Amino acid sequence: FCCCSHTHTTERADQLSKRSSPPMAFFAVLLLLVLLALFAVAATQLWNYAVVRLVWRPYAMSKWFREQGIHGPSYSFLKGCNEDVRSMKEETDRLVLEVGDHKYLPRIAPHYLKWRTLYGEPFLYWHGPQARICIFDYELARQILSSKSGHFVKNDAHPTLLALVGKGLGFMEGADWVRHRRIINPVFTIDKLKVMPSSCSWLSSKA
């Protein structure tokens, strides 16, 4: 009697454990749903980066700026105008400037002058997939530099340049810029600015 009772108890426990444990098909379906969700997220990110950011947005922005009367060189996939800039700089690398010649722009930035002649002012060009507008109007530049709207952001500086000159006021944004600008404000008072020409003249004579 004891042996039979023990056998029935074991069989009943096995049946209960089988009923309580979820089937393997449930785990397979759950894993499939997770993989599909991850694939959907990856596909969305890829679409946003490869199609929207690298294809649709540059051409849409170019069309929008053309309607505003701002033209420029055409956009090339991924490269933007970088190849044109590189080729023009290679051509001007052979130029030799005379001592005291301050017309250095054709030597270091020939693309600005060429595109200015072709497309007028201002013009639109592409640094990779990033749109940039080049202006030559001093008053417009003053308004942009003094604007506090937050719409005009500085370009990311190259790490080599940051290592050379440091992350000074010219590369800062937002609260960091305000804090550093407040620190150096006393240096640019009218009385101290009046002394600067004579100091610069004295330093240049000692050079």
Q: What is the residue-wise DSSP string for 139-167?
A: HHHHHHHH--SS-S-PPPPPHHHHHHH-S
What residue ranges do the domains of the chain occupy? 157-207
- Residue 45 has a pLDDT of 77
Dihedral of alpha carbons 66, 69, 75, 80, sign: negative
For residues 63 and 165, which has the higher predicted lDDT (pLDDT)? 63
Confidence of residue 10 (pLDDT cuts 50, 70, 90): low
What does the pLDDT read at residue 22?
A: 54
pTM of the model: 0.59
Q: What percent of the chain has pLDDT over 90?
A: 5
pLDDT of 112-136, one tens digit each?
889 999 998 899 999 888 888 888 8
Q: Would you say 145 and 137 are in contact if contact means Cβ atoms under 8 Å apart?
A: no
In angstroms and rounded to an integer, the radius of gyration of the C-alpha atoms of the chain is: 33
pLDDT at 6: 43
pLDDT at 207: 59
